[in-house]
Amino acid sequence: MTDRDDHPKPALNLKFLSHGTLESRDIKQTRKFYEEFLGFEVVQASERSLWARLGGNHVYVVIKAGPTGHSMPFANHNGIDVHSDAEVDRAHEITVREASRWGLRQISKPRVQHGTYSFYFWDADENAWEILSNPQGGYSWMFERGDQQGRGHWSKDFERPMKATADDAEETEVRP
């Protein structure tokens, strides 16, 4: 963790980033996609909304939108971590293979970018997703490193952490 003694005291006394909001064109189909493709835990919160989560207490509130919603901008994508680069590649193969079944589009090829190995796609609701390999704790490694200068994690020379495999959770490597 970084030392926050030199940071100003926040105006608000907040405790937890609890949720984000996504849109759905078809709540029943979205639930099926979240459960059967992404593996999310889902509850129907009302006739026009779902709550979804995976691996923690942060929740996405999914709200029924009109039939012609807007496509989520690339920079506003949602990241889902896997255990290794090999799992990113497997997830990519499955995503490409099942794209027509789930209405997936704009599936990028996996590559090293912004500190991790990943690929992107848009779902039938026009929500953008990134499947990525990250060390245990997701992007918490950047908070441990603290503020970066210049291009930071966007630089090709940035030392990227390598997610430990499930079989060897103690070992970590740095990906050039």
- How much is the mean pLDDT over the chain? 85
Res 5: pLDDT: 62
Sheet with strand 128-133: strands edge to edge: 78-82, 128-133, 116-122, 111-113
The reply to whether CATH 3.10.180.10 applies to domain 16-67 is yes
Whether pTM > 0.85 for this model: the answer is no
Q: Write the CATH number of the domain with boundaries 70-166.
A: 3.10.180
Q: Do domains 16-67 and 70-166 have the same CATH topology?
A: yes
DSSP line for 93-125: HHHHHTHHHHT-B--PPPEEETTEEEEEEE-TT
Question: Mind listing the pLDDT tens digit for each residue in 40-55?
Answer: 999 999 999 999 999 9
